[in-house]
Amino acid sequence: MHRPLRPAPLPQSSRPVRHTGNAHGNPRSTYPPGSMESLRIYNTLARDKQTFVPLQPGVVRMYVCGMTVYDYCHVGHARVMVVFDIVQRWLRTLGYGVTYVRNITDIDDKIIRRAVENGETIKSLTDRFIAALHEDADALGIERPDHEPRATEFIPQMLGMIEMLEANGYAYQGADGDVNYAVRRFAHYGALSGKSIEDLRAGERVAANDAKQDPLDFVLWKQAKAGEPADTGWDSKYGRGRPGWHIECSAMSCSLLGDHFDIHGGGQDLQFPHHENEIAQSEGATGQTFVNYWMHNGYVQIDNEKMSKSLGNFFTIREVLAQYDAEVVRFFIARAHYRSPLNYSDVHIDDARNALTRLYTALKDVTPDAGELDWSEPYAQRFRAAMNDDFNTPVAIAVLFELATEVNRTRDAAHARQLQRLARVIGLLVREPRVFLQQAAGAATEGALDAAAIEAQIAARTAAKQAKQYAEADRIRAELLEAGVALEDKPGGLTEWRRV
């Protein structure tokens, strides 16, 4: 008889956040009627798009693998956060009650090495980078997950699951003290990744280890090593040690969402072995199906090669945000379908900035009316259809551009409202247009003119025009344009500016 893994009491840092609006305080729009039944999600396990049917009507439980906090987050992490932020936003827009869990790995070999190198405690290191993670995520308009469990807060649950695996015949302790998972004893191993045991054995990725019964077996509990800092281990029936990476997510997800839940997400690189191992652990312990829908976002690439720290071809989020407006980066990520590769370059970010500028420009002189988002209107229906088709943000954003064209043509406040409200569903167009237009090109960029300097130049140009010194006025205008500032003369002698 398999014992269910009981939910753990929530640590204070994991208390749920009540979602009454988006990260910028905008109330959520009334969900489109009938849309729940039409949502389709590409399920990696089924290798097909499937109609989404939650385990409990009207309720979605979703877990996403978060970051290992020993360094600043990079653009690949930004993609995971933005993708699943949009997913949870759309699920809530459809009217689902969502419990969204995104974990933090705060004990790991890389963390230990970095802390030792720095001469600081594990907690000091991880607290610092968790704070940095939150700063980056907040800048990108990422809504906080309902629960953000830290691995170190769930050690008892991990040990409980390991004991269940041992009792069910899936775990054993090797001669070196490590507790391992016996991969061959789990009949469905490889179903998520499409890899058979024979294929894995033929291309064996794990070095031989006499303490393991099979080289494919993976560690559940690592025995503490001599000389390791005291804060890297916990006492257990298996001896002092720490959890393996894979068991962390199994224990946290099952503890907070139950043994069987709706959606599990993460980057494509986690499909194997991490998510494959999560399935083996969780189902081996509970005897139940672990997850119904598996979602994986594509890689971020640099020159068509996967971005990764191991290759050294990565940019941290804060490095990028020092040069580009955060909403531009969010837009850059959202305009690609989440399952496709995303090729990062300055050229692509510049193009995203120009495109987002076009949307904001449409709203600059047409104030949206105060009405609610009208889901029965044709543009909204097409936006909804795109989002219900496996969160197809490129098509949804194309609808926004069509609406922007209509706003520019008609100057209609109702169309402006639809444009603004639909964009805000996915966390875009969240600011007053002039605020964006005056900083979108990266006002923090070295050498950029600040607002006061620009206003002084505009005043000098106005004075030159009044004195009929038109050549001087033209010179100032050209000088500002060369500095990335475009001027627009409005009726009544007013001059507005924006960055280009």
491 prior amide bond cis, ω within 30: no
The closest alpha carbon to 335, from 437, 428, 265, belongs to: 428
DSSP 79-125: HHHHHHHHHHHHHHHTT-EEEEEE-BB---HHHHHHHHHHT--HHHH
How big, in percent rounded to 5, are the helix, strand and coil portions of the chain?
A: 45, 15, 40
249 is in an annotated binding site: yes
Cβ proximity of 451 and 464 under 8 Å = no
Cβ proximity of 93 and 31 under 8 Å = yes
Query: Which is it for strands 485-489 and 495-499: parallel, antiparallel or unpaired?
Result: antiparallel
The closest alpha carbon to 460, from 445, 472, 447, 443, belongs to: 472
Q: What is the largest CA-CA distance in the chain?
A: 92
Q: How many angstroms separate the CA atoms of 208 and 206, rounded?
A: 6
Sign of dihedral through CA atoms 17, 20, 26, 29?
positive
278 is in an annotated binding site: yes
496 is in an annotated binding site: no
465 is in an annotated binding site: no
Amino acid occupying residue 295:
M
Cβ proximity of 307 and 344 under 8 Å = yes
Instruction: Specify the 3-state DSSP secondary structure of 83.
Output: helix
The Cβ of residue 282 has, within 10 Å, a number of other Cβ atoms equal to 28
- Which secondary-structure segment (H or E) carries 482? helix 470-482
Please give the DSSP secondary-structure letter assigned to residue 55: S
Which residues is 171 bridged to in the sheet?
181
309 is in an annotated binding site: yes
What angle (nearest 5°) sits at the alpha carbon of residue 309, between those of residues 303 and 315?
60
- Annotated binding-site residue numbers: 65, 249, 274, 278, 309
- Annotated binding-site residue numbers for ATP: 309
- Annotated binding-site residue numbers for Zn(2+): 65, 249, 274, 278
